[in-house]
Amino acid sequence: MGLFLSGWVTELILSFRLPAMGFRRLDVGVDGRVLGFTLVAWVTIGLLFALMPAVQSLRLDLTGALKNGAPGGGFRRSRWRTALVVAQVAVSFILLAGAGLLLRSLYRIVTSDPGFETRNIAMTSIDLTVHRYSEERGEALYRRLLERLSAVPGVASASLAWTVPPQDLSGRASIFYPGQEPPQDVLRLKEFEIGLRVDIDPIAPHYFRTLGIPLIAGRDFTEQDRVGAPGVVILSRKLAERLWPGQTSVGKRISWPTLHGPPRAPVEVIGVAADTKYRTLTGEAPLLMYAPVLQNYDGRTTVVVRTAGDPRGAIADLQRVLSDADKDLAGFAPQTMSEHIAESLWQQRMAASWIGAFSLMALIVAAVGLYAVIAQSVAQRTREVGIRMALGAAPGSVAGLVVREGILLAVAGLVIGVPVALGFAGVVRRSVAGVSDMEPVSFAGIALLLAAVMLAACWVPAHRAARVNPIEALRCE
Q: What is the mean pLDDT of residues 5-27?
A: 64
Tell me the backbone φ, ψ of residue 117, rounded to 5 degrees: -75, 135
Whether residue 349 contacts residue 12, with contact meaning beta carbons closer than 8 Å, is answered with no
Is the previous residue joined to 262 through a cis bond, with omega within 30 degrees of 0? no
More confident residue, 425 or 206: 206
Tens-digit pLDDT profile for residues 172-181: 999 999 999 9
The most confident of the ranges 62-76, 112-126, 340-354 is 112-126
Residue 210 is predicted with a pLDDT of 95
As a dihedral over the C-alpha atoms of residue 197, residue 198, residue 199, residue 200, rounded to 10 degrees, the angle is: -110
- Euclidean distance between CA atoms 161 and 213, whole angstroms: 13
As a dihedral over the C-alpha atoms of residue 214, residue 217, residue 222, residue 225, rounded to 10 degrees, the angle is: -130
Residue 3 is predicted with a pLDDT of 81
Residue 474 is predicted with a pLDDT of 63
Tens-digit pLDDT profile for residues 356-367: 888 888 888 888
Q: Residues 329, 332, 336, CA angle at the centre, nearest 5°?
A: 125
Its pTM surpasses 0.95 = no
Distances (CA, A) of 119 to 211, 247, 311, 430: 9, 34, 8, 31
Please report which confidence band the pLDDT of residue 475 belongs to, taking 50, 70 and 90 as the band edges: low
Please report which confidence band the pLDDT of residue 234 belongs to, taking 50, 70 and 90 as the band edges: very high
Contacts of 246 by beta carbon, 8 Å cutoff, 6+ apart = none
Q: Do the bridges between strand 171-175 and strand 196-203 make them parallel or antiparallel, or are there none, so unpaired?
A: antiparallel
What's the residue count for the chain?
Answer: 477
Of 182, 173, 180, residue with least CA distance to 288: 173
Residue 62 is predicted with a pLDDT of 62
Please count the CA atoms within 13 angstroms of the CA of 13 that sit on its side-chain side.
Answer: 11
More confident residue, 132 or 52: 132
Whether residue 325 contacts residue 148, with contact meaning beta carbons closer than 8 Å, is answered with yes
More confident residue, 21 or 228: 228
Distances (CA, A) of 171 to 129, 230, 310: 17, 22, 31
Helices 337-344 and 346-380, packing angle to 10 deg: 60
Q: What is the mean pLDDT of residues 124-143?
A: 90
Tell the burial category of 125 from Cβ atoms under 10 Å away from its Cβ (0-12, 13-18, 19+).
middle
Tens-digit pLDDT profile for residues 63-93: 655 555 545 444 445 677 788 889 988 999 8
Tens-digit pLDDT profile for residues 378-403: 877 777 777 777 777 788 888 888 88
Per-state percent for the chain, helix, strand, coil, to nearest 5: 55, 15, 35
Of 400, 360, 383, residue with least CA distance to 469: 383
Max Cα distance, the chain (Å): 105
Average pLDDT, the chain: 85
Per-residue DSSP letters for 33-63? HHHHHHHHHHHHHHHHHHHHHHHHHTT--HH
Other Cβ atoms less than 10 A from the Cβ of 268: the count is: 15
Of 192, 142, 198, residue with least CA distance to 170: 198
Residue 302 is predicted with a pLDDT of 94
Helices 395-431 and 440-466, packing angle to 10 deg: 150
Percentage of the chain exceeding pLDDT 90: 31
